[in-house]
Copies of this chain bind each other. A is one copy, B any other.
Amino acid sequence: MPASLASLDTPVALIDVPRMQRNIQRMQQRMDALGVHLRPHIKTSKCLPVVQAQIQAGASGITVSTLKEAQHCFANGIQDIFYAVAMAPGKLPQALALRRKGCQLSLLVDSLAAAQAVVDFGGHHDERFAVWIEIDCDGHRSGLRVEDPSLVDIARTLSDGGMHLCGVMTHAGSSYELDTPQALQALAEQERHACVSAAQRIREAGLACPQVSIGSTPTALSAQHLEGVTEVRAGVYVFFDLVMHNVGVCSADELALSVLTTVIGHQKDKGWIITDAGWMAMSRDRGTQRQRRDFGYGQVCSEAGDWIDGARLTGANQEHGIITLERPENVDITTRFPIGSRLRILPNHACATGAQFPQYSACEASGEIQTWSRLHGW
């Protein structure tokens, strides 16, 4: 345990930097072996030093969930940025401003209306926007199904309208609901096949569709081959979390984000240990609720990070977390977890928990702790 951990006020979000670096290496090596580029989704960390570590390990460009992330990363020297949320026409002026400064920003559409809005705005401002088309490979959210008649129309609208069609992209978000290697491999293949097929449809119509971008952390780590794919986007692998642990794509010692908390009270009759990490620190994300193992609001570890079996954050108010033990017999909670003692909580969902904090405390193997700021808002 780094000596300087004791100097941190709680609650605080800790990054285990060696674990994070191993996670980055693991995904990069896998993508290298599969012969595709990795374009990490930075919505998980929203933190420049983390993104820089991903780029240093070999990432080709980044994916963002907000234009604020794009602005921040471009201001810090990152050029190739894919804003992977269907473009709201009202945000086009912001996108234009970024491109005019030299950012290689690319946009996403999944409707003729949005494609036409990009074409109209681009034409009006003499800007050749770079645009992707979103494909729906698993019915979980946005995108066009491969057989959608408007797929080729959208591609043609963009091309004829003078925009640059980057290619097609999809995200198998339903992978979060799976938990066997067989199901994950099948979905990874479904994701790949849908996106490659969509690209083929566009190409068969005589249009260029240079890139095929897929990805989610579970499918990226499960795909057996990625023929026809040019790049993979994945985000949460950088920290992993309990949801990913339940999905089965990471081990407990790969979980790189935790919340350091202080014990502030007990309800001895009920076996409750009360901490200063409530839902404001952990977020309200209950992503493990319907998974094979429900971790409540998080798995409890010692201050040093060792998993305490059966100890979970089962209740949360704004600034109060309630820890209970699966086997409370023979444990005097007031002496085992005295007031003022510290624990770490592993979160269900790293993207949601990180967002509750303005910064991370990044713990190096040497024990050194650095403060890494994090983007908040839009």
Contact = CB atoms under 8 A, between A and B. Distances in A.
Contact of A141 (B117, B136, B274, B284): B274
A319 B66 contact: yes
Contacts of A338: 113
A265 B114 contact: yes
A89 B339 contact: yes
Interface residues of A, number: 59
Counting every copy of the chain, the complex holds 2
Nearest to A275: B88
Contact of A43 (B85, B319, B376): B319
B319 A276 contact: no
A148 to B, nearest CB: 10
A-B complex: 3 closest residue pairs judged by Cβ atoms: A284-B284, A358-B377, A88-B262
Given A9-B90, A319-B65, A111 B43 contact: no
Interface string A257-277: 000001111110000001010
B11 A378 contact: yes
Contacts of A276: 85, 88
Interface in A171-213: 173
Nearest to A289: B286
Contact of A85 (B110, B136, B264): B264
Given A262-B88, A359-B377, A274 B142 contact: yes
Contacts of A322: 141
